[in-house]
Amino acid sequence: MASAPRLLARLSALRNVRVAQPGPTNLPWSTAAPCRTAVTTSTGGILPKPKKTPFGLIRIALVVVPFLYVGTQISKNFAALLEEHDIFVPEDDDDDD
């Protein structure tokens, strides 16, 4: 009879680990707890930490600097095109009163 309480304890633990069913979860009879399958296996084992890729300033600079350069070249060429076709020409207003 000593195994019956252990069995009940296991069943109650399994009941709380179930994955929540899709639908409203704020119902009072909803007893399912969220399950984090990203850190554990289906048998309950903890997965190893994922590999960390070092993300240094050099890698950031290798991505940001070329795109900034290309963006400034595009905007400079487009501004020259607008001025050439007299679509947008800044006026020379002298406010020296």
The 3-class SS string of 8-28 reads HHHHHHHHHHCCCCCCCCCCC
The per-residue pLDDT for 75 is: 97
Q: Which residues of the chain have pLDDT under 70?
A: 1-2, 4-37, 94-97
Exposure class string for 42-73: b at 16+ Cβ within 10 A, else e: eeeeeeeeeeeeeeeeeeeeeeeeeeeeeeee
The per-residue pLDDT for 41 is: 81
Q: Where are the domains of the chain?
A: 3-84
The per-residue pLDDT for 20 is: 47
Q: What share of the chain is helix, strand, coil (3-state, %, to 5)?
A: 45, 0, 55
The per-residue pLDDT for 26 is: 54
The per-residue pLDDT for 50 is: 79
The per-residue pLDDT for 92 is: 73
